[in-house]
């Protein structure tokens, strides 16, 4: 997993960057090595907003692009909430990629052939008998 940490306005402290790399590194176990994760940290300078630190993440996967945004009083708290949200999205994405094709194959195998398919099979058998 490749991680890019950016700040929308200003710069990011090394401690926050290291914390983000540590927390988002957990997602690397569930993602492909070449998957790009962009983390953008921003802050709203308004006293009336208590959750003024926000973290936005974009995960560029082979299929859909996963996007999450969280706000909290500190960058660390916003990153924690963001990672929880991304873990749920990635789990759902992986389940769809691995379990759905298997479910469809199981359903096709367990269903009896339709009348059209059965008629085609009988016609093919009759043609084989006539040729022999």
Query: Is the per-residue pLDDT at 126 higher than 80?
Result: no
pLDDT above 90 covers a percentage of the chain that reads 49
Residue 24: which pLDDT band, with cuts at 50, 70 and 90? very high
pLDDT one-digit tens code per residue, 35-80: 999 999 999 888 888 889 999 999 998 888 999 999 999 999 999 9
Nearest to 38 by CA among 8, 10, 81: 8
Nearest to 68 by CA among 23, 11, 115, 110: 23
**Mean pLDDT rounded to a whole number for the chain:** 85
Residue 121: which pLDDT band, with cuts at 50, 70 and 90? low
Q: C-alpha distances in angstroms, 28 versus 18, 21, 93, 123?
A: 15, 10, 14, 53
Predicted local confidence at residue 125, as pLDDT: 59
Q: Going from the N-terminus, what domains does the chain have, and what CATH number goes with each? A: 2-131 (3.30.160.100)
């Amino acid at each position: 997993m490749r991680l890019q940490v950016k700040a929308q306005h200003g710069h990011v402290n090394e401690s926050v960057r290291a914390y983000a790399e540590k927390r988002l590194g957990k997602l690397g176990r569930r993602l492909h090595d070449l998957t790009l994760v962009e983390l953008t940290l921003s802050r709203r300078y308004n006293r009336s907003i208590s959750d003024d630190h926000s973290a936005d993440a974009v995960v560029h996967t082979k299929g859909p692009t996963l996007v999450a945004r969280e706000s909290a009083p500190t960058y660390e708290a916003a990153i924690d909430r963001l990672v929880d949200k991304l873990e749920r999205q990635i789990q759902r994405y992986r389940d769809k990629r691995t379990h759905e094709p298997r479910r469809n194959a199981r359903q096709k195998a367990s269903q009896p052939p339709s009348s059209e398919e059965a008629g085609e099979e009988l016609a093919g058998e009759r043609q084989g008998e006539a040729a022999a």
